[in-house]
Copies of this chain bind each other. A is one copy, B any other.
């Protein structure tokens, strides 16, 4: 008879609850619920490709539906009873800030504001704030360069302050109605533990450090003087934020009586502080110093940790380096690609190549797998959703080059896969250029177990073996580990993440090793990728093409009246 932890994992399109045996890592029940609002769970705006929001009601409905359903499934298993659940952990997308009132209730729930699109949760991939992000970058470069150094040199339109500033500029009435903005990842534990009042919410280091420029060096969140230069109202929001933030080894609180009853769980269960899905996925993949965890799904998140004791210098172009944001006791380093699976999905569902019969992922993969490296003559840049690392620029776009009248749908599919692998390699090289060694690569997320072609190309392009995390749900598993750690060994959990990892994580027997000939060819193509990357993405070259993509986007936005 074991003890069980629940991991609650909020993705882009759905939420999952996973019940895990804290001593064996066995995943005994799982339940997924797709958000009800919008297209595939994302509220979009047809005229504005930058727009991506979600309705907070889906977040609440989502944990009710999935925890209840997972418990129901687990009850069918011998040896499980809801009383044996010892803790809950939570991970979510981010930066996904939600405007809330003084009670911590989302404005989207209010009759007056609820219908306004700015009152929704601003999903991580909402890029409407690109101009504000540039403005924040510019101001910080001028008066607070240290802020930028910790987030890769560029503040992103995906992040907290840019989104708030864009709301202030474009929907001031909504902004005025918001007492503060709470990251989804902090809001869920607060809801579960009945602590949504803003002064009670335990905010996590992960969201604060990676997205909201929180750092001890300057006393936490950005200084009021800095924020006021952007807009005095941002300084007002700052006052609602706490001085201290927390790691996932701390409890945000304890499951409220009301929710315990509704969900059929023991009262007073510890609920861990929330963190981002990809980061917690690193924990669920057994991250430790030297292990690069690549969480590959619609986008990718590349994680490394390095002991606090060793210190850490700034790495340009890295989304963030934040103490204890991934694994307590270590610096958390986050890099990533703004789109991976999303690119293949775009190709299959928007372009719909290959006619009706040959245009599925399975069919295109099968055809693409027959091609040799370099055989198509194609080369692509994987920037259909911008570039998160190392260029940190949302205003970049995808490119395909080498097209001939004989290029096939499957060749393009493979070129898109290769492009994401080249993007991966740039990231790994950037870590190593700055002294953070990569001794081992473990992949997790939606793609690695499903797409052997992708994994083989990654290994070939990166020139290194890649292992695959055993769990297909590493973020949920990582959250369950956090639930087990906040419960502690005495309650049947663990006292450290090391102990939890030893019991609860592992890799599959099958690993991908580079094929020599492909790796040799990809080395050559990678040099070309690198040149395109630099000439379109930076001003490093004298005759760069940096303005080409920008100008096209300006023309596009004008044509669309944005």
A350 touches B556 (CB 8 A): no
Q: Which A348-383 residues have a C-beta within 8 angstroms of B?
A: 350-356, 358-359, 372-379, 383
Q: Does A548 contact B (CB under 8 A)?
A: yes
B555 touches A521 (CB 8 A): yes
B558 touches A374 (CB 8 A): yes
Q: Does A532 contact B (CB under 8 A)?
A: yes
A384 touches B401 (CB 8 A): no
Q: How far is the CA of A545 from the CA of B342 in the complex (A)?
A: 28
B398 touches A403 (CB 8 A): yes
Q: How far is the CA of A545 from the CA of B401 in the complex (A)?
A: 12
Closest to A541 in B: B543
Q: How far is the CA of A545 from the CA of B412 in the complex (A)?
A: 21
Contact of A49 among B405, B556, B559 (CB under 8 A): B405
B339 touches A559 (CB 8 A): no
Q: Does A544 contact B (CB under 8 A)?
A: yes
Interface string of A398-430 (1 = CB under 8 A from B): 111111111111001000000000000000000
Q: Does A330 contact B (CB under 8 A)?
A: no
- A373: chain B residues at CB < 8 Å are 559
A556 touches B374 (CB 8 A): yes
B352 touches A359 (CB 8 A): yes
Interface bracket on A: 35 or more
Q: How far is the CA of A343 from the CA of B405 in the complex (A)?
A: 7
Q: Could you say how many copies of this chain the assembly holds?
A: 2
- A353: chain B residues at CB < 8 Å are 351-353
Question: For A404, A406, A407, which residue has the most chain B Cβ atoms within 10 angstroms?
Answer: A404
B397 touches A404 (CB 8 A): yes
Q: Which A506-552 residues have a C-beta within 8 angstroms of B?
A: 521, 524-525, 528, 531-532, 535, 541-545, 548-549, 551-552
- A528: chain B residues at CB < 8 Å are 548, 551-552
Q: How far is the CA of A403 from the CA of B548 in the complex (A)?
A: 13
Say yes or no: A397-B406 contact (C-beta < 8 A), given A356-B356, A374-B559, A412-B351.
no
Nearest 3 pairs between A and B by C-beta?
A398-B403, A377-B556, A541-B543
Q: Does A385 contact B (CB under 8 A)?
A: yes
Q: How far is the CA of A385 from the CA of B403 in the complex (A)?
A: 9
- A398: chain B residues at CB < 8 Å are 401-404, 407
B350 touches A351 (CB 8 A): no
